[in-house]
Chains A and B, each alone.
Chain A
């Protein structure tokens, strides 16, 4: 469990990036943090594994303040997948890339082998085991980076803008993968401004703007509120945009999913006949 209590954070340049954040991420929760670039989303999640420490206030991971623990220790529980896989890949082979973190966390011999096999399998990159990560395509490199973090099986997985630069099919795969992880009781935190992606997963959503949390709630409640969404400089999902236009017909406006939208429209037509 991650608890954030009245967190303020200023960069050494004096820029105040977070202005009093209060937030609890429960075990097994699926949370999306949204808002425009520069709203403080990444700054906030960098506190979860201690990469940044609060200027004032505190962040507790499983009850212990991050002030007292090193990043290496916190990272054992909180895996952080960076936006650009090229910021971490350095090994000669995909396998070595995954072994790197396992060794850092003190895994040994058979366990390392077992975890590597498991992670390669999980992300469907078994065939690249001996390949250099630099020879792979962008989408594959992203999967290697993800595997290298899931390998040590952290309880919480934070992903910074996972959909950037991904094509439609890659996004769909990623979405299924995240839902699957969450179903296995993993806590998943996704930082993103990809509204359609969030609309399809329907997680708990936090909207941020200028270092503050605007609102926190289920995606279908938060993303369908045009005022709040505008304040966070994002746009409502397409389905919501359509239903906001149909509000005068007495239809609900908190719809984000195309299947549900179809059902509501059919129901409406039937009732009118």
Chain B
């Protein structure tokens, strides 16, 4: 079932001469884990902003075409209405946390929606637990590490129990271990709670294993859609400049030399298993 559907979506920022996204038609199904990737400036972030109405309501400009999110037409609904269905997590953790304690930040959206205090307390504690930061609840966010801050940002969106969570390069400031923890949390939200995930990411080597769908954008349009396997072996994706994981690259190099593994691997585990199988078999 489609939870996000866009049809010939075109948007131009106020004052800009060319549209940032052009004729974008995508369908994202409930429960999908989608990676949205493409070179800098390809319109990924703009597309994400249309999902909760920041575009066009916050940025103004001209939006053409159609977009429906959780059954709501974005053009007809305010950002705060859409915010109940779509949570956005941004790249820089520092600029999305406003409160002086973690739990207060997690409660922010609920306070805005005028939720009664008792119910709010339950929701906050639940969101903190899901993000694995219950023990940080009273700490000031600015004293936490980048990875912890980003988990606070996730919890603060999660507390509103959205159907969809959109994360715009949430790990780019984090070290690999911090990034891995974020991906694991996101994956749990997807698999356990069935939240639809849209993850904007350049580092496909770390994120690919969780996703069932990859959308590649280029110069404001959708260039490719497919499973990670399809995308990573696509010549077009390589030409656009999608970073193919080394695990898949090794497969391609071997293939060029006449050694073909049984399937296309996406993760190191898969590559290692395929290699072990082949080498032990001969």
Contact = CB atoms under 8 A, between A and B. Distances in A.
B146 A37 contact: yes
Q: Lowest 7 CB-CB distances: which A-B pairs, in order?
A: A168-B243, A245-B272, A238-B246, A169-B241, A241-B268, A193-B175, A262-B253
A164 B276 contact: no
Given A235-B177, A239-B250, A258-B250, A266 B41 contact: no
A3 interface: no
B22 to A, nearest CB: 18
A171 B202 CA distance: 11
Interface in A164-181: 164-171
Contacts of B175: 36-37, 193, 233-234
A234 B177 contact: yes
A203 B2 CA distance: 48
A132 to B, nearest CB: 15
A259 B40 contact: no
A242 B250 contact: yes
Contacts of B40: 137-139, 166-167, 170
A265 interface: yes
Given A37-B145, A237-B246, A258-B249, A269 B259 contact: yes
Interface string B193-230: 00000000010010000000000000000000000000
A246 B274 CA distance: 11
Interface string A240-273: 0110011001000000001101100110110011
Contacts of A137: 40-41
Contacts of B272: 241-242, 245-246
Contacts of A269: 259, 279, 282
B180 interface: yes
A239 B246 contact: yes
B254 interface: yes
A166 B174 CA distance: 13
B17 to A, nearest CB: 13
B257 interface: yes
Given A238-B246, A245-B268, 18 more contacts: A36-B178, A165-B172, A167-B38, A167-B40, A167-B243, A169-B39, A170-B39, A238-B268, A239-B246, A239-B250, A242-B272, A242-B275, A245-B269, A245-B275, A245-B276, A258-B250, A262-B254, A272-B279
Given A137-B41, A167-B241, A170-B40, A234 B176 contact: yes
A246 B276 contact: yes
A196 B272 CA distance: 18
A27 B189 CA distance: 50
Interface of B: 38-41, 91, 145-147, 169, 172-178, 180, 202, 205, 241-243, 245-247, 249-250, 253-254, 257, 259, 268-269, 271-273, 275-276, 279, 282
B259 A246 contact: no
28 contacts: A36-B178, A37-B145, A37-B146, A37-B178, A137-B40, A164-B172, A165-B169, A167-B39, A167-B202, A168-B202, A196-B246, A233-B177, A234-B176, A242-B275, A245-B269, A245-B272, A245-B275, A245-B276, A258-B250, A259-B253, A262-B250, A265-B275, A266-B254, A266-B259, A268-B279, A269-B279, A272-B282, A273-B282
A250 B180 CA distance: 30
A137 B42 CA distance: 11
A138 B172 CA distance: 14
Contacts of B39: 167-170
A195 interface: yes
B45 to A, nearest CB: 11
Contacts of B180: 235
B242 A168 contact: yes
Contact of B275 (A37, A170, A171, A246): A246
A238 B269 CA distance: 10
Contacts of A239: 246, 250
Contacts of B275: 242, 245-246, 265
Interface string A150-169: 00000000000000111111
Given A249-B279, A266-B257, A195 B176 contact: yes
Residue with the highest number of chain B CB atoms closer than 10 Å, among A168, A234, A245, A272 = A168
Contacts of B178: 36-37
Contacts of A265: 254, 259, 275
A53 B124 CA distance: 44
Contacts of A241: 268, 272
A64 B8 CA distance: 64
A137 B172 CA distance: 17
A70 B173 CA distance: 31
Nearest to A195: B176
Contact of A235 (B176, B247, B257, B259): B176
A246 to B, nearest CB: 6
B253 A258 contact: yes
Given A246-B276, A269-B259, A37 B174 contact: yes
Given A37-B145, A139-B40, A258-B253, A238 B279 contact: no
